[in-house]
């Protein structure tokens, strides 16, 4: 039987809140089995940019990343956030190793081609080049990889890449070696319907309907697109749920949040 890996993605709203982050990392450190953490941090990057006099520009949930912004996101994601997460997890007994997509060529990408919009140094992942071999070896040696939302263009440049996309592509590449569960953690109880109730299971047609009605908007649209892409490409299960639900889902094997079907 194949071993199971839990791939957890955590976004900027949890990372930016000290008490929510502490709870999340305590739970992550105590999760049973093999695990990978993908972190975002868009909110922190926006605040730091602002402090440096650079106004963040987002289009369809993606940051327009010019030369100065690339320097900021590289410092914030690969340095400040990634290394603090690693240090905190080490203090909780989790043997974490922090990496970007450039390290060991884990996530090759290319600069997004300019069409109507020039996103600058934003990476589109070359999923077909990802074989999951390095991450698999790290997991089998007892380490928990902590991945920052940065890729590289294989010509010497770092690229800023949406963390939800990193989570989905890493999950797909690891599903060649393991049974993979992908879990998107955020600050709400799951995908909410028009009455703000948690949708227990969401299908593609229902997602299309909710998008059409304006019930699913903003960052939840690319999150669900990435979630469905992972399921279509061989990931065993995908959930979108509150960060507090991790022990319930993984350690107690009880459903919580929204399951992608």
Ligand X SMILES: Nc1ncnc2c1ncn2[C@@H]1O[C@H](COP(=O)(O)OP(=O)(O)O)[C@@H](O)[C@H]1O
Binding residues for substrate: 41-42, 63, 160
Our finding on whether 217 is near ligand X (CB under 6 A) is yes
Query: Is there binding between residue 12 and ligand X (CB under 6 A)?
Result: yes
Half-sphere exposure of 228 (CA within 13 A, CB side): 13
Q: Which does 149 bind (CB under 5 to 8 A by kind): ligand X, ligand X2W, none?
A: ligand X2W
Residue 122 binding target from ligand X, ligand X2W, none, CB below 5 to 8 Å by type? ligand X2W
CA atoms within 13 A on the CB side of 146: 24
Residue with tokens 């797909």: 172
Instruction: Report 10-39 residues binding ligand X2W (CB under 6 A).
Output: 11-12
Contact letters (x/-) for ligand X, 138-177, by CB under 6 A? --------------------------x-------------
Site for ligand X2W in 157-176 (CB under 6 A): 160-163
- Among ligand X2W, ligand X, none, the one that 161 touches (CB under a kind-dependent 5 to 8 A) is ligand X2W
CA dihedral 127, 133, 138, 142 (to 10 degrees): 110
- The residue at minimum Cβ distance from ligand X is 11
Residue 17 binds to ligand X (criterion: CB under 6 A): no
Position 101 contacts ligand X2W (CB under 6 A): no
C-alpha 157 chain-centroid distance: 21
Annotated binding site: 41-42, 63, 160
Find, among 182, 197, 142, the residue nearest to 38 by Cα.
182
101 contact choice in ligand X2W, ligand X, none (CB below 5 to 8 Å, kind-dependent) = none
User: Please, which residue, 158 or 240, has the CB nearer to ligand X?
Assistant: 240
Q: Which whole-number Å values give the CA distances from 191 to 58, 67, 69, 216, in the listed order?
A: 22, 35, 31, 8
How far is the CA of 164 from the CAs of 40, 41, 92, 159, in angstroms?
Answer: 8, 11, 25, 15
Q: Which option in ligand X2W, ligand X, none does residue 188 bind, with CB closer than 5 to 8 A by kind?
A: ligand X
Tally of CA atoms within 13 A in the half-sphere of 13 that contains its CB: 8
Considering only residues 28, 34, 39, 40, which one is a binding residue for ligand X as defined by CB under 6 A?
A: 40
- Beta-carbon contacts of residue 223 (< 8 Å; ≥ 6 apart): 164, 184, 240
Give yes or no for a contact between 6 and 34, defined as CB atoms under 8 angstroms apart.
yes
Contact 198, 189 (CB under 8 A): yes
Name the site residues for ligand X (rule: CB under 6 A): 11-13, 40, 42, 164, 186, 188, 191-192, 215-220, 223
Residues that bind ligand X2W (CB under 6 A): 11-12, 40-43, 45, 62-63, 73, 122, 149, 160-163
């Amino acid at each position: 039987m194949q071993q199971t890996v839990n791939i957890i993605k955590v976004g900027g709203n949890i990372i930016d809140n000290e008490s929510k982050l502490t709870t999340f990392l305590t739970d992550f450190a105590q999760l049973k089995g093999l695990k990978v953490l993908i972190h975002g941090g868009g909110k922190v990057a926006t605040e730091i940019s602002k402090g440096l006099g650079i106004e963040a520009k987002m289009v369809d949930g993606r940051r327009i990343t010019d030369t100065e912004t690339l320097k900021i996101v590289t410092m914030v994601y690969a340095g400040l956030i990634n290394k603090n997460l690693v240090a905190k997890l080490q203090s909780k007994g989790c043997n974490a190793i922090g990496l970007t997509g450039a390290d060991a060529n884990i996530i090759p990408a290319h600069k997004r081609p300019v069409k109507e919009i020039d996103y600058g140094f934003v990476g589109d992942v070359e999923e077909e080049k990802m074989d999951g071999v390095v991450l698999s070896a790290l997991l089998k040696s007892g380490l928990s990889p902590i991945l920052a939302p940065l890729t590289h263009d294989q010509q010497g440049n770092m690229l800023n890449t949406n963390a939800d996309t990193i989570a989905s592509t890493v999950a797909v590449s690891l599903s060649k070696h393991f049974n993979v569960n992908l879990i998107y953690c955020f600050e709400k109880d799951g995908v909410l319907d028009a009455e703000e109730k948690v949708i227990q299971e969401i299908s593609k047609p229902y997602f299309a309907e909710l998008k059409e009605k304006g019930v699913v908007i903003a960052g939840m649209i690319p999150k669900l697109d990435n979630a469905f892409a992972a399921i279509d490409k061989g990931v065993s299960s995908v959930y979108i749920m509150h960060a507090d639900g991790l022990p319930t889902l993984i350690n107690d094997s009880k459903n919580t949040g929204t399951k992608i079907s």
